[in-house]
Chain A
Amino acid sequence: KNEVEQSPQNLTAQEGEFITINCSYSVGISALHWLQQHPGGGIVSLFMLSSGKKKHGRLIATINIQEKHSSLHITASHPRDSAVYICAVWTGTASKLTFGTGTRLQVTL
């Protein structure tokens, strides 16, 4: 079992829909990152969380440390949100990022 699990693996939505991507992890962490990767490869860091909730524009990220679970929400989705979203956890003891397998999101008109 991977230390970081994401669901769903693939997601297709229509423009305007509310989207949720989930991330569960099995190790103790110091921080959790949500990353966005567009075709071509470049990765953008969206959020870093250690507790609670963060919001940036139409994106909202939450984390529940006790349940070892985080969610990324996209409100009013748009085709430009089409990308792979990756959850990554920082474990201080291992001093490295461990990544989920990613969620491929396609938003259609």
Chain B
Amino acid sequence: KAGVTQTPRYLIKTRGQQVTLSCSPISGHRSVSWYQQTPGQGLQFLFEYFSETQRNKGNFPGRFSGRQFSNSRSEMNVSTLELGDSALYLCASSPHDRAGYGYTFGSGTRLTVV
């Protein structure tokens, strides 16, 4: 059974650019959530999607957005990149309609903004 797949694994972008990260959940999982991990702030919740609907959003600026497709794959987009956006971005999928029970995490995308 394939795990949660995040692409790309590594990314280097320049300030002001935008970036799109992809997350393919485990087959049958309909909930996908995204997290940002930095040395200073640790792991922080970005947003959660279930059946193509954003159900919750963390305390991040509007430059951070996401969406979920009908096949449950999810993308997150960061526009107008800032140096502080350099982080490991993780997604997790869950089979449950109330995600909070039983997560599987991907390996993450490490974004470096220069």
What residues make up the interface of A, taking CB atoms closer than 8 Å to B?
Answer: 30-31, 33, 35, 40-45, 48, 86, 88, 90, 92, 94-102
Contact = CB atoms under 8 A, between A and B. Distances in A.
Given A42-B108, A92-B100, A102-B42, 16 more contacts: A41-B88, A41-B110, A42-B107, A43-B105, A45-B105, A88-B43, A90-B100, A95-B48, A95-B98, A95-B100, A97-B35, A97-B45, A97-B100, A97-B103, A99-B43, A99-B44
B28 interface: no
Binding site of A, secondary structure by majority: helix, strand, loop or mixed? strand
B102 interface: yes
Interface residues of B, number: 26
A6 B85 CA distance: 25
